[in-house]
Structure 1
Amino acid sequence: MTTQDRARGALLGLAAGDALGAPTEGMTLPAIRERFGRVTGFLSDDAAGTDDTEYAVLCALGLLRHGREITSDDVADLWMATVGEQQGGFYGAGFSEMVAIANLRSGLRPPVSGSDSYETWSDGAAMRVAPVGILCSGDPAQAARIAAVDASVSHSRDGVYAAQAVAAAVAAALTGTTPAEVVAAGVAALPVDSWSARLVARALDIAASSGSPDEELYAEISLFHYPWWDTAPEAVALALGLFSAYGADFEQAVLAGVNIGRDSDTIAAVIGALAGALHGAQAIPPAWRDQVTKVRGRCVTATAGTDLVELADRLRELGTTG
């Protein structure tokens, strides 16, 4: 397995998990089982990556332009030139991104554009930073640093911390051999006394003590008291817990995220990025890869037509030379 195959696996895995999880987003685990039994593939011939995939492409474009020296102002400028100028689209866009865009349009700059929001702790940054892990392959600390730069445009505190964990875990997965190594890198990127760290620790304890932890993770980690299902601590805790339990098998791991419900497109996208980076693109079922390779641009129109294989190759090349 080559580093190129792993880099491709990270982006294709993210997009596949995103597209597979989109129909179950916002559903409860019991409702998914009642309606579908168990989701094992795409539920629509028109399945495609959602805002998770398209904002990840936007993140990658900033990295390709500025490399490891990227600043939050660089990210803000890219957002203003793309989503800031966009009219229409934004299908399925998250609140955190839309508030950040409104803040940027009004003249706010990061980190204020990310902190002046009621959704600072959403998973909208965690969903998009897998490209940072590709750029920083084998260097989780650097990945966490750059993820914070990107995330601060739209998030603060746990919204940023969760993004750091995902980017660090992807960076570790690209050179790692076991799910445990990957999870450890993600945990190390979280501030010890943070909401995210505490919830992730609880999820990993559940995963370690149960051979089939899905129901317990759903019951114990889900923040049912909050009106939305997109909190970053919850989504990343569920993703790392499920990846810890099932990450030795790409397909089983991603489908666990799809069938858990809650913010299942983001949960499955994060798992897909980690498992794809660890096992390579060849571990992804061909039908899944083929369905998501070309980005639709339904939310972020500037990403329409992007080939994720080509994008992954460019990020990997920059990571080895820049």
Structure 2
Amino acid sequence: MSSWIEDRALAVVTGSAVGDALGGATEGFTPEAIEERYGGRVEGIVPPFFADWQTHRPISPYHKGDGHITDDTLMTQALIEVYAERREHLDAFAMADGLVPRLIGDVRWIPELERETVLLNRIFLAEKWMVTRLQYGHIDPREAGVGNVVNCGAAMYLAPVGVVNAGDATGAYREAIDLAGAHQSSYGREAAGAFAAAVAAALAPGADPLGVADAVLSVSHDGTRAAVAAVVEAATTVGDASDREIGARLRDAIRPFDTVGERYREPAADARIPSRTKSIEEFPVALGMVIAHGGDYRRAVLGAVNYGRDSDSIASMAGAIIGAMHGSHVVPAEWVEEIGAASRVDFGVHAGLLAQAASDILERDRVRALAAVDRIGALADPERLAS
């Protein structure tokens, strides 16, 4: 296993987890409310938005903030474990018989619940739908995502798909679309493919933010593609705008495609239903943050944190893309250490699992590619085929 893949796996794991933990405290709020609560823009680890977090929102009594990773990272870790077990590309069936059993059977520390339990007790409604459909409804995994609320639930944890398809945005897109069919449909599924493609493209030698965007645009479709194009255009024209203004411009760009609406906690009547013209907000904005801030990890992630709304997922995606592009040295070590301690997690464990799985898969892909060249060559040469 090369030191390169070990470092980039660590960069993706820590880059996404740090963004997730920092953004957890500000999730669901407006930039103005965030600044009022914290006395200015958030610049690192902060306490929960509400001191009475246990009861303030009974439907989600989670201890967000204080350096706690959320379900984005916990689901990412669970998917890494499936890759580590199988050491091969995954499909929708692997979600049913590989991921779901971990969600309902493996006891682990859940920082936001401050106790050990199964991940099912932390994941939210769209993920519980997946468990219900696959474990108890026995739905064909390729179709299980149909009928679920359309959101970023599948996209938020598919960064590992990009790592095992390093440099191959098309391969990552296709694998993620297959996997995500067990969880999401419509533009929620499309976003999962686009995000995985972005991580894979960011791992290509010499990758830069605009090159990653080009790779995403080359594989994505419908409202997701249109939303990415609009946000990328906005991100490339920010000039010397302040970080606050950058967030506002990206919000303006995504607004026509976003079904949730302006009141994040009070979604519009047509929110989260299938559409060919709409997009989730999280991935395009995350990519926009990467571009607008020139691939600078700290600025892009903090830009996502202070953007509010689904800030943990936006910051996590931005962090994964930048980590993949530049390596683990760009993820601030002090944040990694503090969040690891607060969440009681050693990020190196899952990074190592992902690196080993990716190394094995990439080697198998190399062998398969060479065999394909020979097969295609034989088919193209009648005399060779006859012999």
Could you tell me the TM-score, scaled by structure 1's length? 0.88
**What does residue range 1-322 of structure 1 map to in structure 2 within 5 Å?**
2-36=4-38, 37-44=40-47, 46-85=66-105, 89-90=119-120, 92-104=122-134, 105-117=136-148, 119=149, 121-175=150-204, 176-191=206-221, 194-211=222-239, 212=241, 213-222=246-255, 223=258, 224=261, 227-228=266-267, 233-293=280-340, 307-322=349-364
Q: CA deviation at 1:84?
A: 3.7
- 1:92/1:27 Cα in 2 relative to 1: closer, same or farther (>3 Å)? farther
Write the distance in 1 (CA, Å) between the matches of 2:98 and 2:303. Answer: 34
Distance (Å, rounded) in 2 between the aligned partners of 1:207 and 1:136: 27
Deviation (angstroms), 1:6: 2.0
RMSD: 2.6
Displacement of 1:189 in angstroms is 2.3
Alignment partner, residue 372 of structure 2: none
CA-CA distance at 1:281 after TM superposition: 0.7
Give the Å deviation of 1:312. 3.4
Query: Structure 1 pair 294/108, CA: closer, same or farther in 2 (3 Å)?
Result: farther
Per-residue deviation at 1:280? 0.7
Q: Is the 8 A contact 1:138 1:171 kept in 2?
A: yes
Hey, what's the Cα distance between the residues in 2 that align with 1:116 and 1:308? 32
Distance between the aligned counterparts of 1:49 and 1:269, measured in 2?
10
CA gap 1:179/1:40 in 2 versus in 1, 3 angstroms: same
- 2:152–2:282 contact (8 Å) kept in structure 1: yes
Once the two structures are superposed, residues 203-238 of structure 1 have per-residue CA deviations (whole angstroms, 9 ceiling, x without a partner) of 112112222321122244243257449966211111
Letter in 2 for 1:161: E
Q: Is the contact made by 2:12 and 2:323 (CA closer than 8 Å) also made in structure 1?
A: yes
Describe the shift of the 1:293–1:151 C-alpha distance in structure 2 as closer, same or farther (beyond 3 A).
farther
Distance 1:305 1:274, change over 3 A: closer
- One-letter amino acid of the structure 2 residue matched with residue 282 of structure 1: H
Given that 1:235 and 1:266 are in contact with CA atoms closer than 8 Å, whether structure 2 keeps it comes out as yes
In 2, Cα distance between equivalents of 1:43 and 1:320: 39
TM-score by length of 2: 0.74
Larger of the two Rg values belongs to structure: 2
Aligned length: 313
C-alpha change, 1:18 and 1:305, in structure 2 (3 Å) is: closer
Q: Measured at CA, do residues 304 and 109 of structure 1 come closer, stay the same or move farther in structure 2, by a change above 3 Å?
A: farther
Please tell me the residue identity of whatever aligns with 2:30. T
**What letter matches 1:197 in structure 2?**
R
Q: Aligned equivalents of 2:37 and 2:195: distance in 1?
A: 31
Aligned counterpart, 1:300: none
Task: Rate the CA distance shift 1:174–1:69 in 2: closer, same or farther, 3 A.
Answer: closer
Q: Secondary structure at the match of 2:184?
A: coil
Structure with larger RCO (C-alpha < 8 A, sep 6+): 1
Which contiguous aligned blocks of 4+ residues in structure 1 show a shift greater than 6 angstroms? 303-306
* Matched-pair contact (CA < 8 Å) for 1:7–1:174: no
Matched residue type, 1:315: A
